[in-house]
Every structure is written in structure tokens, then in C-alpha cells.
Amino acid sequence: MRKISARQELAQEGDRPETVFLMLEGWAMRYTVMPEGGRQVLAFLMPGDFCNFHVTLLAEMDHSISAITPGLVAAIPRAQVTRLCESTQNLQRAFWWSQLVDEGVLRSWISSLGRRNSHERVAHLMCELYVRAHNIGLTRQDGSCEMPVSQLVLADALGLTPVHVNRVFRQLRLDNVLTIGRGRLIVNDIDKLVRIAGFQGNYLHRRLRAAA
């Protein structure tokens, strides 16, 4: 296990890593930097997520990974992960499930960037992160969950400016849908948030087909 600090780079585009990282505590993100210097956030990583499982097959990182918060990761040699996948069917299925969820999230984000307006984008991402946090026990009975992601980072994920993201959050707060701040997201009206987002969480694939 390895402790990581906030904003620590776990991998950079072009690296040839020999280690697979599994998030145990804290949040991280995948991102890429465009030629003009702008950043596009590609995914948020929570406890239980593999950061870079694909390096078991691919030789080079095509994006970067950075910690958002202090945390803890399991650092597993790439060769060991490959051996485990080859020898343990249940573990192999778990690794495949992780990758399929990643693909589902990517498809949803592409849909947001291409077809959802700014309010729908923000609401959809908040639904997604809230459901994911709930699934791993990071929500409270008061309807809140951990939300350590800054509005600047959220803007880079949503393809919006930080000012625009702030305006949307302000309107959602005035409408008593949600409140975000001080590292937490408070959902006041989950049904209304889901309606605004048009959210369907099937792409998070909570259930698997039974093995034959």
C-alpha cells in the first residue's frame, strides 16, 4: 500500500508504468492536456476503482492520473495482475466488470458533452457521483456525500467554464435541489435532481450476468 497526497501524479501521459493502482482511500481523476494547454477531465476515481488496469495490455499511458485528495492506493505489479487474471476466473470477471463500468461512464459523459444542456450536464454528473458514493458507503442519512472536487475540476469534466458551473449550482441551490460546498454534496430533492438530469443509472452496471 502507498499513501498519496492531494494533486500527486500517479501516472502521466506517455509513461510506461509497471504498476497497477487500486484506489483504497481518497479520490483521483483521469485527465488529458490539450495542445493549447486546456485540461479535459476524463473520469473520477473513488475507493475500489482501478486507476490504470489497461496497462496490463497496453504499453503506454494515453492520459494522466492525478490524486484529488490525500489517499491510499494498492500498488500491484503489472505482471502479478496479469497472472491473477489468468489463474482466477472470479477475479478476471471483477477486472472485466471494472472496465465495463468505465466504458459505461465514458459513453454517458460523451452523451452529456454532445446532447445535454449545462443544467442537465451538472445534474447528471452530480447524480452519477452521488450514486457511486452511496454504493461504497460514502453517503450520510442527511442526504449528503463526500464531494472533494472543486468547481474548476468539475468545469474541466463538463466542458463548461467555472463561472457557468457556479451559476448552475446557485440555481440548483435556489430551487432547493442540492447544495455543494466545504467538500460535501447535499441532495435535498433526489427525485427532482434525477428529472433534471434525465438520469438512468444502468450504465453503472451494479448487476452482472450469472456465470454459465
Residues 83, 25: one domain?
Answer: yes
Assign 3-class secondary structure to the chain. Answer: CEEECCCCEEECCCCCCCEEEEEEECCEEEEEECCCCCEEEEEEECCCCECCHHHHCCCCCCCEEEECCCEEEEEEEHHHHHHHHHHCHHHHHHHHHHHHHHHHHHHHHHHHHHHCCHHHHHHHHHHHHHHHHHHCCCECCCCEEECCCCHHHHHHHHCCCHHHHHHHHHHHHHCCCEEEECCEEEECCHHHHHHHHCCCHHHHCCCCCCCC
> What CATH number corresponds to the domain at position 38?
2.60.120.10
Could you list the residue range(s) of the whole structural domain that residue 172 is in?
117-204
Taking only the tens place, the pLDDT of each residue in 41-55 is 999 999 999 999 888
User: Does 154 map to a domain?
Assistant: yes
Is the model's pLDDT at 211 over the cut of 60? no
pLDDT for res 5:
98
User: Does 80 map to a domain?
Assistant: yes
> What CATH number corresponds to the domain at position 186?
1.10.10.10
Task: Report the percent of the chain where pLDDT is more than 90.
Answer: 76
Domain count, the chain: 2
pTM for the full predicted model: 0.92
pLDDT for res 209:
46
- Which of 6-10, 138-142, 181-185, 202-206 comes out lowest in average pLDDT? 202-206
pLDDT for res 85:
82
Greater confidence, 67 or 206?
Answer: 67
Of 49, 65, 87, the residue that ends a domain is: 87
Residues 83, 128: one domain?
Answer: no
Residues 83, 134: one domain?
Answer: no
Residues 82, 158: one domain?
Answer: no
